[in-house]
Amino acid sequence: MRIALYQPDIPQNTGTMLRLGACLDVELDIIEPCGFIFSEKALKRAGMDYLDMVKYRRHNSWADFLAYREEHKNEYGRLVLLTTKAKQPYTEFEFLPNDVLLLGRESAGAPQSVHDIVEARLIIPMNEKARSINVAVSATMVLGEALRQTKMFPK
């Protein structure tokens, strides 16, 4: 199981998701460009004192991420996009151990070109008057369900 962040905008959210990965033994992929200067110093300033515990890989672009994924097929399974533009609730999806939970930018989500190639698009059911749930909170909710289904929580 992996989390992939598509061009994240907010360092605090990225730091939160890196900490989540550290605590739950889930690797992350950061797909640049980011909306902030991505550095260990900046992440530590955002409260990320778990940086030495998490495994993450930076990719210069979406194309670089896709090429890396292709080269490492045994580690990277289906791309599962979390989006407000989906119809299928994440609670009705059967996760696999090597799924990649993909989250779009806080400001704009993921572009149509990303939507077009993912294997699944999932939504978190919520109040219809609300716009969206914070990306780090969304990652936590869906990752928790995915780890529960696949029995992959750390022991």
Alpha helical stretches, state H, 46-92 = 62-71
0.85 cut: is pTM over it? Answer: yes
Q: What's 105's DSSP letter? A: B
CATH topology for the 2-150 domain: Alpha/beta knot (3.40.1280)
Burial of 52 (0-12, 13-18, 19+ CB in 10 A): exposed
Tens-digit pLDDT string for the chain (155 aa): 999 999 999 988 998 999 999 999 999 999 999 988 777 776 666 546 778 889 999 999 999 999 999 999 999 999 999 999 999 999 999 999 999 999 999 999 999 999 999 999 999 999 999 988 999 999 999 999 999 999 999 98
